[in-house]
Structure 1
Amino acid sequence: MSRSERSADDIAAASAISLAELPLIDFAPFLSGDAAARRRVAAEIAHACEEIGFFYLAGHGVPQATVDGIFGQADAFFSRDKADRRTAMATPDWYRGWIPAPEAQPLSRNTRMFEQYRLQHEWPANPRDMQHADIFDKPNRWPDDMPAFKQASEDYLAAMLTFSRELLRAFALGLGVAEDRFDDCFHQPASQLSMNYYPQLPMDAHDEVSNMVAHTDEGPFTVLAQQDVGGLEVKRRDGVWIQAPPVRGAFTINVGDMMMWWSNGRFLSNYHRVRNRDGARRFSVPYFANPDREVVVAPLPELLASAEPKYKPVRVADHLARFYSTLSKNPHDIYN
């Protein structure tokens, strides 16, 4: 998570919205249509990315059974006794597995009231980047006696890899560059998967208290699967917070920092947070699409014909390593 500077309005209550503010886009024509259909869908995505940085995406081609499978296993894992969850606990030198909420914390705007299970794609060790081997080259950690958890997670990771590569092509077309512009950046992507569990906020919690504080995401984009319990809130360009309720069968897509940098600020990496006040447990599954670790992200030269670059080049491995370094200081300080 990119915890960029927050402002006073980040504690404001969120307003209910119509879907017109977070548009619902059908991705099916992009997956199966002709060139004109692909351009039309890409234009819809680009418009949403310019206006708010969030949109719903239906017709994505990921089987509902795959989505239901990972939610079922997330529920099963977080329903286990804490002692059983602890057997799969993430550590600073092996950043995979369960990350609990702090045992005790005051209720404030910085409260962290959620648990997560973190996974990454497993690729062969990269001998050209041994500096970050502990971050990227470790295997995933799996809970004891839950083979279905491992299978559902691997199925979902595989589905997300295929889907995210298609979505990248839509982002490229929406920016007006070659459709395959990002293909070479995602051969062995450093993408991550998180299963998040949010208990209900206490009834006496002040309006400023969130399960997850306001933040932007590190990578190019995030694919979020939600169930029926809401809580996600998004900040518009005018500073107003709005609710982003679940839409059955659709993913919620948000632009991250790296896509904003690639687009030279045309696409917006926007603040979002979670406040679960629905009276029920909430689960979500975000997939953080990140490029290959050796990729250097900078404004695309094709977009700089009449503009100066607004962002400096950033190497993916170094950028993500700064985020992971928080583990060595506080294992709970992981907000995505």
Structure 2
Amino acid sequence: MRSDSNHSAYVRYHEGDPRIPIVSLAACRTRDEARKRELAQAIDKVCRERGYFQVEDHGVSEDVLKAAQGAVLDFFDLPLHEKMAIHIAHSPYHRGYVPAGGETAYGSTIRDIKEAFDMALELDLADPDVQAGKFFHGPNAWPDAQPLLQPTLSRLYREWVAMCGNISELFAIGLGLPNTYFAERTTKPLAQLRAARYPSQPPDDTGGAIGCGEHTDYGIVTVIWQMDSEGLEVCDPQGNWIRVPRIPNTFTCLLGDVTGMWTNDHWRATPHRVLNVSGEMRHSLNFFFDPDYDCVVEPLPPFVTAAKPALYQPTTMGAHLIQSFDGVFEYRKQAASAEAMA
């Protein structure tokens, strides 16, 4: 049985909504292994009970965040034809611009009204995995009209990779796995950074327009920075929708599908959605920390018992990502439909 006695030393709760845990990551960057283990145990409790949390003392530079925010705002303000020049359908590597209506959440008939820009690990054409044709491996697609987007988002990408490496080590410790369990499975991660812009929608209207429909993300952990307006909502284990406040100097972390698979839903993936009813345009930066393409994902022995048999069949991260993207991105649905008709 893990001890929760030091929980309050690492976790506080939002004054306006005690359902929002805020975790300090300061201890994960020290060499004090006892403090790191206590922090990991506190995160285990939060993940078991909530499936989401805010992080503070995360170590990401304020200068990097300000530069990324400015570049993202400038990108979305470009004329539509300049953004469409790097439409994600033009990229064999699933990189570039996603216009409004380019995605639909699983089980929904309403296309998201957001627009987005997606980038991932920058790989040149000589890379062996690019040569092998592995999905989602290749160079990014950058807009000629906004040259600052590449250096600013690339730097933030590197900082979030490092931060998520720290978080995933804490996950491993909290779950009773070897410290390096996730590090060994994220040597060339399918990690993606997404900038998104959400028009305001009518209050309480989820029937005709939605910023982003209800879904879970695909990997280990998702990081969300609500840059200017609230709108993110998470669903707790009891089925209640909770609006996530914007808390200065924090990011929201959500558990992804493969974490739920590995732990046999001991930690569950976090359903979430975006409803922007602010009356203003909303922007966010999001980071999806996913394992390597060939990483095998299946319920681990410590979480499979006679009382709770394995809930998931073995798969790989690459196969899971392809199946997921095929179900939500309109350009991939259209390509599959055209193939079927050929």
Q: Judge which range, 185-194 or 43-52, deviates more.
A: 43-52
Structure 1 residue 96, shift from structure 2 partner: 1.0
2:58 corresponding residue in structure 1: 60
The secondary structure found in structure 1 opposite 2:253 is strand
- Give the AA of the match of 1:68: K
Quick one: which amino acid aligns to residue 286 of structure 2? P
Matches of 1:141 and 1:54, distance apart in 2: 31
Residue identity over aligned pairs, in percent, reads: 28
Equivalent residue, structure 2, for 1:4 = none
> Do the aligned residues in 2 keep the contact of 1:123 with 1:188 (CA within 8 Å)?
no
Alignment of 1:146-295 (within 5 A): 146-202=146-202, 206=205, 208=207, 209-295=209-295
Give the Å deviation of 1:268. Answer: 1.5
Distance 2:316 2:82 in 1: 38
Tell me, yes or no, if structure 1 residue 31 matches structure 2 residue 63: no
- Cα shift at 1:68: 1.8
Aligned mate of 1:329, from 329, 333, 338: 333
Q: What TM-score does the superposition give when structure 1 sets the normalisation length?
A: 0.85
- 1:57 aligned counterpart, secondary structure: strand
In structure 2, do the counterparts of structure 1 residues 75 and 93 end up closer, same or farther at CA, with 3 Å as the change threshold? Answer: closer
Deviations 1:89-139 (A, max 9, x none): 211653211110139x9xx97241100001111246665786753x32221
Residues 93 and 72 (structure 1), Cα distance of their counterparts in 2 relative to 1, 3 Å cut: closer
- The answer to whether the 8 Å contact 1:233/1:272 transfers is yes
Mapped to 2, the partners of 1:184 and 1:318 lie a distance apart of: 19
Q: Name the CA shift for 1:69/1:19 in 2 (closer, same or farther; >3 Å).
A: farther
| Greater displacement, 51-60 / 220-229 | 220-229
Task: Note the C-alpha offset of 1:200.
Answer: 0.8
How many pairs were matched up? Answer: 311
SS of match in other structure, 1:283: strand
8 Å contact from structure 1 (residues 28, 59) kept in 2: yes
| Partner deviation per Cα, 1:235-256 (whole Å, 9 max, x = no partner) | 1111111101111111100001
Q: Matched residue of 2:196: which SS?
A: strand
Contact kept in structure 1, 2:82 and 2:145, CA below 8 Å: no
Q: Which residue of 2 aligns with 1:6?
A: none
Q: Do the aligned partners of 1:177 and 1:302 also contact (CA within 8 Å) in 2?
A: no
**CA distance 1:128–1:243, shift in 2 (3 Å):** closer
Q: Is the 8 A contact 1:193 1:288 kept in 2?
A: yes
**Residues 248 and 241 from structure 1, CA distance in 2 versus in 1: closer, same or farther, beyond 3 angstroms?**
same
Paired residue secondary structure (1:222): strand
2:74 corresponding residue in structure 1: 76
- Aligned in 2, Cα 1:321/1:29: closer, same or farther, shift over 3 Å? same
Deviation of 1:197 (Å): 0.4
Q: For the Cα contact (< 8 Å) 1:120–1:192, is it kept in 2?
A: yes
Change (3 A) 1:261 1:132: farther
Is 1:121 paired with 2:125?
Answer: no
1:18 shift after superposition: 3.7
**Alpha-carbon distance between aligned partners in 2 of 1:283 and 1:142, rounded to the nearest angstrom:** 19
Q: Give the Cα separation in 1 of the matches to 2:146 and 2:210.
A: 31
Give 1:86's match in structure 2, choosing from 73, 84, 87.
84
**Which residue identity is paired with 1:155?**
R
2:143 paired residue number: 143
SS at match of 2:88: coil
Relative to structure 1, the CA distance from residue 126 to residue 148 in structure 2 (aligned partners, 3 Å threshold; closer, same or farther) is closer
Contact 1:46 1:175 in 2 (8 A): yes
Structure 2: which 5+ runs fail to align?
1-13, 336-342
Partner of 2:45: 47
Unaligned runs of 5+ residues in structure 1 are 1-15, 332-336
- Asked if structure 1 preserves the Cα contact closer than 8 Å seen for 2:130 and 2:137, the reply is no
SS of alignment partner, residue 184 of structure 2: helix
The code of the aligned residue for 1:52 comes to R
Moved more, 63-72 or 304-313: 304-313
Change (3 A) 1:224 1:313: same
Q: Distance in 1 between matches of 2:215 and 2:192?
A: 17
Superimposed CA distance per residue, residues 159-204 of structure 1 (whole angstroms, 9 cap, x where no aligned partner): 111111111101001112221111210111111111000011146x
* Deviation at residue 280 of structure 1 after TM alignment: 1.4
C-alpha contact 1:212 1:274 (8 A) present in aligned 2:
yes
